[in-house]
Structure 1
Amino acid sequence: MTQPLLESRDLTVRFGGHVAVDAVSCAFAAGELTAIVGPNGAGKTTYFNLISGQIAASAGQVLLRGEDITRQSVARRCAGGLGRAFQLTNLFPDLTTLENVRLVIQARRAKGFNLLSMAASDNDLRDAALAVLERVRMTALRDTRVSELSHGNQRKLEVAMLIALDPAVYMFDEPTAGMSADEAPVVLDLIAGLKAERDRTILLVEHKMDVIRTLADRIIVLHNGALAADGPPGEVMAMEVVQEAYMGKDLALV
């Protein structure tokens, strides 16, 4: 059996007497896009936080390529290939979109911490950053300060920075939230393109069932912090207990 790229084993976190994530065990393979769904308060974002290192686990393990990373920092997990959009990446509001992406590429290439002075003279970094901006259709905004971007474009820039990081595992937490009808398809197309490369693991927290049906190879359902269902989208969506208790009865119409 092929070793999963990412895995959680009995992953648990307690806040006082409340168990927010309750012994969740899941293995995620390279080339697979898994949608994580459930009602508000089900533990989806907390599970993401445990995997990416924003909060410490009370029990259980997180493994990346078979290595136990449960006690590693966010930065070390990131360096190891774990990337999370919208919470891992930080935008620099006084810099341009191009400068933001260029800094990520330079940091990934480990060229040191005097980033701005070095990047300014490095045409290779600039070209690589422009290529990423072209993928997210933001080339025309390359010289615009981040503080002047719309909310939707700031979120697209965060996706661009995650792509520039080039992780083995992509984690998207409601990637189209707050975007207009014109902006959202760009991000969804990007995620579909990453999935088509078939060498990365993609985790997606999403409420929009049409997005899940289009992109997901697999759905896991969390409820009260525990794993309630896990399987192919058709099977999971067809489960009556999922439709009625976890996702809403209107899912049956999707």
Structure 2
Amino acid sequence: MLETRNLTIRFGGHVAVDHVSCAFAPGTLTAIVGPNGAGKTTYFNLISGQLPASEGQVLLDDMDITALPAPLRTRRGLGRAFQLTQLFPNLSVLENVRLAVQARHGGGLNWWQVWRDRKDWLEEARELVAGVRLLDKQAATAASLPHGDQRKLEVAVLMALDPRVYMFDEPTAGMSVDEVPVVLDLIRALKARRDRTILLVEHKMDVVRELADRIIVLHHGALVADGEPAAVIASDVVQQAYLGQAPTAGEEEAA
């Protein structure tokens, strides 16, 4: 469904993403890992349209979407959750999710008509808010929420759009230990559907081990490993590039 071909971006003389070619199929969850500065978020930005590529292509269903701006990519089915939350800060929790439900159904921005005529959309929004355990805060503005709740709200907004490709950029960053399972359970449920493509940038290797069907590793912007999680994590290139050390024989056997 989703593919990048030789995807590259340069900032002056620095190559942040270096000719990355990779395909992602429906029904799979791919974790994208690598050390800080490896190009993971930049790669996400190229796929979702926040940055223009210097070279290469992004394809969705074999259609070249490289020249499309981010909003049109979203309409084609690419959904993105960011490291830094992207919400309407002065709208309530429920209104943020309701607008996403409206957008998916092609309802425009006529808020009052939706309140009056489309109570089913409002109920759908409430169910999504309940799913991230924010129903007791549905009337609070997004800006008033603590960071962990803002991350959960952004996941609810993304799910309201119901894209074909879900892109999660460190979705549990900044969350308390008690909050993390809520988001991970939602990602597990999406994966269980087997009809969505899920990309996950994540530093927590226990999360990666549990959720990922596949791991790709970026280092200095280049794709250096791609495969089944246990094999990739145990590989020399990952031990050196991502963990900063070569594995011992005992570690290799344990992996």
TM-score (normalised: structure 1):
0.94
In the alignment, structure 1 segments of 5+ residues that lack a partner are none
Change in 2 beyond 3 A, CA 1:245/1:15: same
Counterpart of 2:224 in 1: which secondary structure? Answer: strand
1:98 and 2:94 aligned: yes
Question: Is the counterpart of residue 225 in structure 1 residue 234 in structure 2?
Answer: no
Look up the match of 2:143.
Answer: 147
Task: State whether residues 11 and 24 of structure 1, in contact with CA within 8 Å, keep that contact through their aligned partners in structure 2.
Answer: yes
Query: Deviation string for 1:197-235 (max 9, x for gaps)?
Result: 000000000111000001000000001111000000011
Residue 40 of structure 1 corresponds to which residue in structure 2?
A: 36
1:28-78 Cα distance to aligned partner (Å, 9 max, x none): 000100000011111111100000000000111000111100000100000
In the alignment, structure 2 segments of 5+ residues that lack a partner are none
After superposition, give the CA deviation of every residue in 1:149-171 in whole Å (9 maximum; x if it has no partner). Answer: 11100110000000000000000
Q: Which residue of 2 aligns with 1:118?
A: 113
Which letter does structure 2 place at the counterpart of 1:228?
V
Shift of 1:86: 2.4
Alignment correspondent of 1:182:
178
After superposition, the Cα gap between the structure-2 partners of 1:103 and 1:181, relative to the gap in structure 1 and judged at 3 Å, is same
Post-superposition CA distance 1:185-206 (Å, at most 9, x none): 1101111110010000000001
1:163 & 1:247 partners in 2: Cα distance?
33
Q: What is the alpha-carbon distance in structure 1 between the residues aligned to residue 66 and residue 239 of structure 2?
A: 33
Mapped partners of 2:196, 2:107: distance in 1: 25
- The residue type equivalent to 1:170 in the other structure is Y
> 1:29 corresponds to which residue?
25
Secondary structure at the aligned position of 2:242 is classed as helix
| Paired residue secondary structure (1:21) | strand
Partner residue of 1:14?
Answer: 10
SS at match of 1:247: coil
Matches within 5 A, 1:152-171: 152-171=148-167
Q: Which amino acid aligns with 2:169?
A: D
Q: Deviations over 1:67-105 (max 9, x none)?
A: 100000100000000000126973122221111100111
- The one-letter amino acid of 1:236's match is V
Output the TM-score relative to the length of structure 2.
Answer: 0.93
| RMSD of aligned alpha carbons | 1.7
1:133 Cα deviation from its structure 2 partner: 1.1
* Residue of structure 2 equivalent to 1:56: 52
**Residues 89 and 162 of structure 1 are in contact (CA less than 8 Å); yes or no, is this contact kept in structure 2?**
no
